[in-house]
Each structure stands twice: as C-alpha cells, then as structure tokens.
Amino acid sequence: MYFGIKFYVANRKKALEKDAGEGICAECGSSIFDKKCPNCDSVGE
C-alpha cells in the first residue's frame, strides 16, 4: 500500500511538471514551451 501511494505521487508530479511547461505567459495565461507562448508568439510570426 505504501509503495503504491509513493508510485502514484511520483507519477502525478511528473505529469504536473510536464503539463505546466516552462512557465505561464503573463499576457494570456497559457503554458510556455521552448521559451515561447504558443498563442502570443504565433501572432507575431
């Protein structure tokens, strides 16, 4: 039981880190990937 909980928590932390990306855009609030906001930076290109 103890190891099952530890395994679940470790996987959950990895999933949250992956989902969060590198940070949050200050303008629109979406996750930043490759040091660019997918919403704001695609408009300027």
What is the number of other CB atoms lying within 10 angstroms of the CB of residue 36? 14
Domain hosting 35: range is 2-44
Residue 2's Cβ-count burial label (10 Å; 0-12, 13-18, 19+) is: exposed
pLDDT at site 7: 95
Indicate whether 10 pLDDT > 90: yes
HSE value, Cβ hemisphere, 13 Å, CA-based, for 29: 0
20-43 pLDDT, tens digit per residue, is 667 888 888 888 878 888 888 776
Average pLDDT over residues 1-29: 85
Asked if 36 and 30 count as a contact pair (C-beta separation under 8 A), the reply is no
User: How many domains is the chain built from?
Assistant: 1
Give every CB contact of residue 37 below 8 A, 6+ residues apart in sequence. 25, 27, 28, 30
